[in-house]
Amino acid sequence: MLVIRPLQEDNLEDLYAMAQKAGKGLTTLPADRDLLQRKINLARETFSQRCAPEAGLYLFALEDTETGKAVGISGIQARVGLDEVFYNYRLSVTVNASKELGVHVRTPTLHLSNDMTDTSEICSLLLSDDYHGGGNGLLLSRCRFMYLDEFRSHFSEKIFAEMRGVSNEQGLSPLWDALGRKFFDMEFTEADRLSGLGNKAFIAELMPKYPICLPMLPDSARAVIGRVHDNTAPALRMLQAEGFNFNGLVDIFDGGPVVEAFIDTIRTVRDSRNRHAMVTRKAMDLDVPAAERVMVSNRSFRNFRVTTVPASCVGIDTISLPPEVAEALQVESGDPVRLAPLKDRAKSAVKAAR
C-alpha cells in the first residue's frame, strides 16, 4: 500500500537516491546530502510547529508500506520571498503608437518582479521511476491540496507552482543563453545548481533589472518564454485540471511559467467531502483502477496521512476502511476523515455516494 505521510529523518537516503536519478532540472531538490538533511530537518520542525508558520516547509513522502521506503516526495513552501528575495519576470505588453504616423507597435516586455512574495508555493514533486502510473503521481501532488484545505490559516489564499522551463539534453536553456548568460558567464546548469543550494537571489542580483523588450532577444529564446519542459507537460496538465492557470510570470532563468490558483477554487478542494471512518473486516477488493479510487486523509496536521481506496467504500456518512488501511491512516472507527477524488472520473463516485 502507498501512503502519504510527513517526511521522516530516515528518508534521507531514499530521497538522495531519487534526487540523484532525477538529475538536472529539479532545482528545489538537488542531490546534496547536507542540503536534503537541512530540508528534512526543517520539515520536521514545521510539522511539529517548532518554527514560525511563514518559514514552514511541508514535505510529504509517498511510502510503500511493504518496504518502508519513500518512493516519492512533494512539498509546500508556506511562504516565499520572506528571508530572501523571490524573483520572476512578468511578461507584459507595451504599446507604442503614433497617430501622426499611423504606427501602432506592441512590444512584449519582461519586467523583473517580486509579485509572488508572501505566497505559498507547491514544490519539490519527485516520484521514483518504478512507481510511475496507477495514479501515484496524482496522489503525491493532490494530497497537498487536501492539506492546504485543512490548514488554510497556515498558507496564503493564493497558491502557485513554478514549472520547469525548456532546456535540452545538454542542459542548455535558450532563454538563459540569450539573457542571463549575457550578464555573467555561467552555464545554465551551474546557475540552476546554485539556485537549488539557495543562491537564487544572489544570482538574481546579477540579472538585468530594467525591462527586457522581447524583440531584442533571438527567436529561440522568445519561443520558450512561458513554455514548459516536455517532461513537465503532464504536471502542467494536472495542475490545469485543478484550476491552476498561467499568471503571466516566468522564471528568470529558463522562462518556465508560474501557474496559480486560489485555494477555494482548486478542484480537489471543492470536491472534498467529510466522512467518518468505519473499520470493517468485510473482505473487499482494494486493487481497482485509479479512476475508481478516492483519496482519504486523516486530517492530522502533525501526522498527515493520505491513501487511496476504491470509491465503492464511500457511504452516506461513513467510509468503510479495511484494518490495514485504517492502520496506515492511523484512524479508528468514528474518526473524521476527508475524501477527494483521485482522478476526474472518480468525482462522480464520490458525488454518487453523498
State which of residues 217, 261, 277, 296 lies at the interface with another protein (CB under 8 A): 217
d(CA 154, CA 265): 17
Compute the CA torsion angle 255, 246, 163, 47 (nearest 10 deg): 130
Min. distance of Cβ 194 from another protein in angstroms?
7
Interface with another protein includes 216 (CB under 8 A)?
yes
Min. distance of Cβ 102 from another protein in angstroms?
10
**25: which 3 cell numbers?**
532540472
Q: For another protein, which stretch binds (CB under 8 A), given 32-40, 161-169, 215-223, 230-238? A: 215-223
Query: Given phi > 0 = left and psi -120 to 50 = alpha, else beta, which region is 168?
Result: beta
For the annotated catalytic residues, the residue numbers are 229
Interface with another protein includes 215 (CB under 8 A)?
yes
Nearer to another protein among residue 108 and residue 134 (C-beta):
108
Min. distance of Cβ 100 from another protein in angstroms?
6
Among residues 272, 286, 350, which one has the least CA distance to residue 323? 286
Q: Are strands 158-162 and 306-310 parallel, antiparallel or unpaired?
A: unpaired
Write out the binding residues for another protein, residues 109-148 only, by CB under 8 A. 109
Query: How big is the CA angle at 66 (ends 65 and 69), to the nearest 5 degrees?
Result: 65
State which of residues 8, 37, 65, 107 lies at the interface with another protein (CB under 8 A): 107
Q: Count residues near another protein (CB under 8 A).
A: 30
State which of residues 182, 237, 345, 351 lies at the interface with another protein (CB under 8 A): 182
By the 8 A CB rule, do 166 and 173 touch? yes
State which of residues 211, 223, 286, 301 lies at the interface with another protein (CB under 8 A): 211
Centre a 10 Å sphere on the Cβ of residue 221 and count the other Cβ atoms it contains: 20
Write out the binding residues for another protein, residues 44-103 only, by CB under 8 A. 94, 96-98, 100-101, 103
State which of residues 65, 114, 199, 280 lies at the interface with another protein (CB under 8 A): 199
State which of residues 52, 132, 183, 324 lies at the interface with another protein (CB under 8 A): 183
Q: For another protein, which stretch binds (CB under 8 A), given 59-67, 201-209, 249-257, 327-335? A: 201-209
d(CA 17, CA 41): 18
**340: which 3 cell numbers?**
477527494
Dmax (CA) for the chain in angstroms is 83
Q: Which amino acid is at 220?
A: S
By the 8 A CB rule, do 76 and 120 touch? yes
Nearer to another protein among residue 130 and residue 219 (C-beta):
219
Min. distance of Cβ 27 from another protein in angstroms?
16
Cα dist from 54 to 40, 119, 146, 202, whole Å: 17, 10, 19, 22
Interface with another protein includes 175 (CB under 8 A)?
no
By the 8 A CB rule, do 87 and 200 touch? yes
d(CA 315, CA 313): 6
Nearer to another protein among residue 104 and residue 351 (C-beta):
104
Q: Which amino acid is at 116?
A: M
d(CA 118, CA 54): 8
Nearer to another protein among residue 210 and residue 285 (C-beta):
210
Nearer to another protein among residue 62 and residue 212 (C-beta):
212
Interface with another protein includes 184 (CB under 8 A)?
yes
Min. distance of Cβ 215 from another protein in angstroms?
4
- Residues of this chain that interact with another protein (CB under 8 A) are 94, 96-98, 100-101, 103, 105, 107, 109, 179, 182-184, 186, 194, 199, 202-203, 205-208, 210-213, 215-217
